[in-house]
């Protein structure tokens, strides 16, 4: 009997595979850490072959736990936007540019001046296409700076879609991974848009809906990964969207925080909306949520350790960090951290924004700095969530947190205090894999829609309640936080831009 689903997630720091039954119970999980290369300031790259080798390792691990004949389908999830150039044989042509890369600043400015300023601009059905992290600017950069590999490239793939290609031999992407390149209403590219971008349309993969069948595992791939030849592979979508699906973000007024390398905050809505600095994800006629990704989340902790705890090396001791942070009071005695360490995405979308500590005095200690970093990320979450709420005219009663950062009860408590709302974590913590598996379950006919899949497979843990006694200091610091960007933005323009 085929009664198991696999979710495969190509994340930034790890690739992950999880095996679930149809009730959402996690039966097996495996992870493979992935290196990140920063060859120049503002750049971020990974080797697609590292992803593939990691996928082979983890799929073989989880399959050892069960009878492989029970696997009904596999769904894909992945970091986005990323860009892998592949040749006609499906081989990658050099390193992939990943989502946090900021190198395409000049190309984004060119798009702003030559394309997005056009009053007739309707080619993607959206207005926000101008940012150094988004595909239009990235593709122009690749076409101008990687001349040889660009000429060789047959297709431009997202990370998860590259893995899908290696598993099935099929070239495709999904509607949301192709954000800012296709019209989300039609799922089609517009040749006029690509002519204006000076990008050949024939390099773009076909576009599918997230629950669509990509293809079946080839015999060659099966021999390497352990899955049976012919196992159905469903295209899935962005890791953040899969996380949101697993947490029930499409339920009206449900707020979700994906606490990973960056923080991605969402709010379920019941109608189409447009708002400055955030996106609308419309997975179906009834499944919609507003969403905004920040640039830094738990990656601030890695930076913090590099600066203040170099003796830890690569292995971060979170207990030490949280014990140190606990020695400072809530609100860090007025020290406010702005987490714009590599620009910021939602809700300000400014590659030139910079981080900083504000309110520093001679009485502040290392414990204040550590706590302020945790709190600064909490402020970023609130900033995006309130932007979503203002646009929708809704207020979320509570926040669901998933992702690696959700394992820190200390951080979850700070977020509850900053938001002054209860915080729930999910029983299944690898939610990108769960969401991908749910989409595969919908595509394979086990669930009639995403809502049905959520009812069957999503479960929440016990709430963490906000402490009213600290609401005043956090409200004061948040208002300072929110006013810092408009006050400092003219100075950010004078800093050296990433080239």
Lowest-confidence segment of 229-238, 269-278, 408-417 by average pLDDT: 269-278
Strands (E) in 38-99, as ranges, are: 45-46, 71-78, 84-86, 96-97
Tell me: the pLDDT tens digits for 243-298?
999 999 988 899 999 998 889 999 999 898 878 889 888 877 778 899 999 999 99
The reported pLDDT for the residue numbered 63 is: 93
Residue 495 pLDDT > 70:
no
DSSP class per residue in 384-431: HHHHHHHHHT---S-EEEESGGGG-HHHHHHHHHHHTS-EEEESSS-H
Taking the C-alpha atoms of residue 429 and residue 405, their distance in angstroms, rounded to an integer, is 10
Taking the C-alpha atoms of residue 351 and residue 339, their distance in angstroms, rounded to an integer, is 13
Residue for token digits 């609401």? 471
Q: Please give the DSSP secondary-structure letter assigned to residue 353.
A: -
Residue 426 tokens, joined = 């999910």
**Helix, strand, coil percentages, rounded to 5, for the chain:** 40, 20, 40
Taking the C-alpha atoms of residue 322 and residue 422, their distance in angstroms, rounded to an integer, is 20
- Residue ranges of alpha helices (H) inside 206-357 are 219-225, 239-247, 299-308, 318-326
Taking the C-alpha atoms of residue 218 and residue 275, their distance in angstroms, rounded to an integer, is 43
Q: What are phi and psi of 392, to 5 degrees?
A: -90, -15
Tell me: the pLDDT tens digits for 110-126?
998 888 776 556 666 66
The reported pLDDT for the residue numbered 310 is: 85
Tell me: the pLDDT tens digits for 1-40?
899 999 999 999 899 999 999 999 999 999 999 999 999 9
The reported pLDDT for the residue numbered 499 is: 42
Residue 497 pLDDT > 60:
no
What DSSP element (H or E) covers 282? strand 279-282
The reported pLDDT for the residue numbered 313 is: 78
Q: Across-strand partners of 163?
A: none
Q: What percent of the chain has pLDDT over 90?
A: 78
Classify burial at 174, counting beta carbons within 10 Å of its beta carbon; exposed 0-12, middle 13-18, buried 19 or more: buried
The reported pLDDT for the residue numbered 229 is: 98
| 404 band by pLDDT with thresholds 50, 70 and 90 | confident
Taking the C-alpha atoms of residue 349 and residue 294, their distance in angstroms, rounded to an integer, is 9
Residue 99 pLDDT > 60:
yes
CA angle 382–384–389, rounded 5-degree value: 90
The reported pLDDT for the residue numbered 96 is: 97
Short-list 212, 205, 210, CA closest to 169 = 205
* More confidently predicted of 185 and 326: 326
- 410 to 62, 325, 407, 424: CA distances (angstroms): 31, 9, 9, 13
The reported pLDDT for the residue numbered 279 is: 86
Taking the C-alpha atoms of residue 160 and residue 245, their distance in angstroms, rounded to an integer, is 17
Residue 164 tokens, joined = 């899908």
Residue 292 tokens, joined = 């905004």
Residue 461 pLDDT > 60:
yes
What DSSP element (H or E) covers 473? helix 471-492
Taking the C-alpha atoms of residue 167 and residue 169, their distance in angstroms, rounded to an integer, is 6
Residue 498 pLDDT > 60:
no
Evaluate whether 337 touches 372 at the Cβ level (below 8 Å). yes
Domain 4-240 has CATH 3.30.420.40: yes
What DSSP element (H or E) covers 460? strand 460-464
Residue 212 tokens, joined = 């669509």
Tell me: the pLDDT tens digits for 289-348?
999 999 999 999 999 999 889 888 778 999 999 999 999 999 999 999 999 998 999 999
């Amino acid at each position: 009997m085929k009664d198991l689903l696999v979710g495969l997630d190509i994340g930034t720091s790890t690739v992950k595979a999880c095996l679930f039954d149809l009730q959402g119970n996690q039966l097996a999980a495996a992870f493979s850490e992935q290196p990140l290369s920063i060859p120049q300031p503002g750049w971020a790259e990974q080797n697609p072959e590292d992803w593939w080798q990691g996928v082979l390792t983890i799929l073989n691990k989880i399959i050892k736990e069960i009878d492989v004949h029970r696997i009904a389908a596999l769904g894909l999830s992945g970091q986005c936007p990323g860009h892998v150039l592949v040749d006609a044989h499906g081989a990658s042509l050099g390193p992939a540019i990943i989502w946090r890369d900021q190198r395409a600043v000049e190309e984004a400015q060119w798009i702003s001046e030559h394309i997005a300023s056009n009053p007739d601009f309707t080619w993607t059905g959206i207005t926000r296409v101008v940012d150094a992290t988004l595909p239009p600017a990235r593709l122009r950069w690749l076409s101008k700076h990687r001349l040889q590999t660009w000429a060789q490239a047959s297709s431009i793939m997202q990370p998860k879609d590259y893995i899908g290609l290696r598993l099935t031999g099929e070239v495709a992407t999904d509607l949301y991974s192709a954000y800012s390149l296709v019209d989300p209403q039609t799922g089609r590219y517009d040749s006029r848009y690509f002519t204006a971008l000076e990008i050949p349309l024939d390099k773009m993969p076909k576009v599918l809906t997230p629950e669509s069948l990509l293809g079946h595992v080839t015999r060659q791939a099966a021999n390497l990964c352990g899955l049976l030849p012919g196992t159905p592979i469903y295209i899935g979508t962005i890791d953040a969207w899969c996380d949101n699906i697993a947490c029930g973000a499409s339920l009206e007024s449900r707020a979700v925080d994906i606490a990973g390398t960056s923080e991605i905050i969402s709010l379920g809505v019941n109608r189409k909306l447009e708002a400055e600095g955030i996106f609308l994800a419309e997975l179906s006629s009834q499944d919609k949520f507003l969403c905004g990704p920040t640039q830094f989340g738990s990656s601030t902790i890695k930076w913090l350790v590099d600066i203040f705890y170099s003796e830890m090396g690569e292995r971060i001791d979170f207990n030490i960090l949280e014990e140190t942070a606990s020695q400072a009071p809530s609100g860090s005695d007025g020290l406010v951290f702005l987490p714009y360490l590599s620009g910021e995405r939602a809700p300000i979308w400014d590659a030139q924004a910079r981080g900083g500590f504000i309110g520093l005095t001679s009485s502040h200690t290392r414990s204040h700095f550590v706590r302020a970093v945790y709190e600064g990320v909490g402020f970023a979450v609130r900033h995006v969530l309130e932007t979503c709420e203002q646009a929708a005219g809704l207020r979320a009663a509570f926040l669901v947190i998933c992702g690696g950062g959700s394992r820190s009860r200390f951080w979850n408590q700070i977020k509850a205090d900053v938001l002054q709302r209860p915080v729930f974590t999910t029983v299944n913590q690898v939610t990108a894999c769960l969401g991908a598996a749910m989409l595969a379950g919908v595509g394979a006919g086990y669930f009639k829609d995403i809502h049905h899949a959520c009812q069957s497979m999503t479960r929440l843990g016990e709430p963490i309640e906000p402490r009213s006694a600290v609401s005043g200091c956090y409200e004061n610091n948040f208002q300072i936080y929110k006013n810092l960007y408009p006050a400092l933005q003219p100075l950010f323009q004078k800093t050296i831009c990433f080239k």
